[in-house]
Structure 1
Amino acid sequence: MTDHSTRHRGALPLRAVCRLALALMLLIPSLASATIDRVAVEQLQLDIWRIRADFHMYTVMGGDSAYHDLLERGMRQGRTSFQALARAAESEQEVALLNNLTPQWDAFLGSASKNTIAELGYTDTYAAQDVNRLAAVMSSQLDNFSAADAEHADLWHMAAYMQRMASEYLALAADPAGGMAVDTGEGRLEFRDAVPAFDTLLQETRRKYRDDEAVNRALEQVASKWSFIRQSLVKFYEDSVPFLVHRYTEQIISTLDQATSMPASAQAAG
């Protein structure tokens, strides 16, 4: 007579192995999601350049409290992005990146919070130069970091690049020496190169998403807004319009942000 209880007991280890295998399979995606990806990198880049832009816009607007609030909000958003990056760091390279960035990030926020325009009527030169320099240094490290690819990372890259151009424009506009004292070292952008580079980036991204109706529509809006300020960047020394550049940059980035959360209506072309 077959001993069913013995056969039942013998089957238990197999089921246990299956359950363990399933648990491991479920665990692997969660581990993979902790890796720093390009979206996280580009979002931090965006926040770095936004903080720099808002710092200088506060100067341009003569210490208007509304722009101080904008700067504070940008720094809060930046802290959120930095913390997300730190939580995702697991590999040796990722931890090394965070170890290098952390003191620079803390110093950057410290300098960004020391704009003296409201108290003294002018912005401390050393604070401005530190904001410019540290933004460039951190951005260079993020540019050189090999992050895992992620959906819509290209749209976040476009947003970060747009914000970087605006931050350079506003840094020049805020400088009482007409841009001669802006010290960004190797991070300095030349609009004669940056503007056509953004043109190319926008064209290539529109081609990529030509079959995605929702994203393509958003990129059409970006192209329209870009056309309003493009010449202002090219002809900065002829006609400086920092308020318009700041406002349209905000709109472009908001449009790209919304595009990243849109459900794809069609598969984006590769």
Structure 2
Amino acid sequence: MSSRRSLAFSLSALLVFLFAFVSPSLLAAPTDDLLRLHQLRLATQKSLGDFYMYNGMEGDQRYARMIGESLQEAQGHLDALGEMPGEGAKALRSQWQGEWQGYRDGLQALMEAMRSQGYTDLQPVADLADSNQRLMAIAQELYQKIQQESGYSVPTLTQQSREQSLLMQGIALDYASRSASIGGSFFGGGEERAIDELVGEFASKLDGLNRAQQNTPEISAALGSIGTKWRYIEKSLLNYNENSVPFLVSKYSDSIIEGLEGVAAQYAANQH
């Protein structure tokens, strides 16, 4: 019995030694944190798109609920982030948290203005969009910094699928801002580019994913479903100045993003 105890002690002492001297990045790749950070970006971007829908639909409570859900989801992903792998990532995370608090407060103040007076002033909306863009830029930098400081890289096809999700969210956000008559200059989510250029990029990159040699039958089927939904809204996106259908674009973009996230997860699983 005592020999078992001493063996258990020796093993636990060995583990303590390993944890003390082995780099944390070697013990666990930051795959979960990078996924959480990606989903944090999606939820943050979506919260602004939901607000544009709320504004454009004159205070429709369905979108008020969706804003709340997007903010809650983003906060949940932020809270779940683990220890950052280095000082650069820690500093960026801290910077993000500071900007995030101001963004949340600004968004909630605009929702309150919409409830109490039935409209929002343009300047606070422009400020909110600027804050959203800063958050997206910091999160992108943090996403790169985590990989740099941990020595881990997100697999190529997983990364391409995630970028496709963010692009779809950006297109939906741009479309919602135009439909809400807030103006294309107030869209958050990266550089300001013509919506037809973004649509062309999405279609081209979706074709690229469809041609990937690593596609399993399940992934091909999922991409086929995404393609069908995309074709359903593609013409509306290209003709955004004619018949505005923000509800349709919002609904289908959510479904396309959900499909792309599933594809990204399958690509990641197939790497192991």
- TM-score normalized by structure 2? 0.79
2:97 to 99, 102, 106: 102
Note the C-alpha offset of 1:37: 5.1
1:155 to 138, 161, 177: 161
1:215 to 214, 219, 222: 219
Note the C-alpha offset of 1:54: 0.5
**Could you tell me how far apart the structure 2 residues matched to 1:120 and 1:18 are?**
64
Q: More helix by proportion, 1 or 2?
A: 2
Contact 2:136 2:190 in 1 (8 A): no
Structure with bigger gyration radius: 1
1:24 aligns with 2:30: no
- CA RMSD in angstroms comes to 3.3
**Could you tell me how far apart the structure 1 residues matched to 2:105 and 2:123 are?**
12
Note the C-alpha offset of 1:209: 6.0
Structure 2 unaligned spans of 5+: 148-152
SS of equivalent residue, structure 1 residue 63: coil
Note the C-alpha offset of 1:50: 0.5
Paired residues, number: 253
Please give the per-residue CA displacement for 1:98-134, whole angstroms capped at 9, x wherever unaligned.
1221121111111221223232121232331122111
Alignment of 1:101-250 (within 5 A): 101-113=96-108, 114-115=110-111, 116-145=113-142, 146=144, 147-148=146-147, 149-150=153-154, 152-175=158-181, 179=183, 182=186, 187-208=191-212, 211-250=215-254
**Could you tell me how far apart the structure 1 residues matched to 2:189 and 2:36 are?**
25
SS of equivalent residue, structure 1 residue 42: helix
Q: 1:186 to 1:261 in 2, by over 3 A?
A: closer
Please give the per-residue CA displacement for 1:41-70, whole angstroms capped at 9, x wherever unaligned.
321221121111101111122111121111
Identity percentage of aligned residues = 23
Note the C-alpha offset of 1:257: 3.2
Q: 1:208 to 1:84 in 2, by over 3 A?
A: farther
**Could you tell me how far apart the structure 2 residues matched to 1:157 and 1:229 are?**
19
**Could you tell me how far apart the structure 2 residues matched to 1:18 and 1:185 are?**
48
Write the letter of the residue equivalent to 1:16. Answer: S
